[in-house]
Amino acid sequence: MDMKKFLALFALVLATTFALAACAPAGEPITVDSNTIVIDVRTPSEYSEGHLDGAVNIDIQDANFGTILSQLPTDGEYVVYCRSGNRSAKAVEIMKAAGFTNVVDAGGVNDASTKTGIAIVQ
């Protein structure tokens, strides 16, 4: 095998390894009780394709995201998720900066379902 093919194969293996590691469920189970508000920060169309049972849809890309958050009690219990974990991480950061004290990032919808034990429904 020539060096170019070897390096291309090595890069592919490395990229695949990192992609799988990023998608692997991680972290401890998340306890959700009757006081916990589960927030799906995806778009309404993504939400309608499947969301955690009982989750509230507050689209982080909506211009009114901050206004909607300001109507929630900052001392409430929140679990936030999205499709892959990127938007939920950003939403949690925004919420903490706004004074929310008990916010958990559950990552992507599938990981959130696994960690919380809440089923995905349509």
The residues annotated with a catalytic role in the active site are 82
- CA 113, 105, 12 angle in degrees (round to 5)? 80
Which H or E run contains 91? helix 86-97
Are 80 and 106 in contact by the 8 Å Cβ rule? The answer is: yes
Q: How far is CA 34 from CA 38, 43, 72, 77, 104, in A?
A: 10, 25, 16, 10, 16
As given in the structure block, the two tokens for residue 20 are 């799988």
CA–CA separation, 8 vs 4, rounded Å? 6
Are 51 and 121 in contact by the 8 Å Cβ rule? The answer is: yes
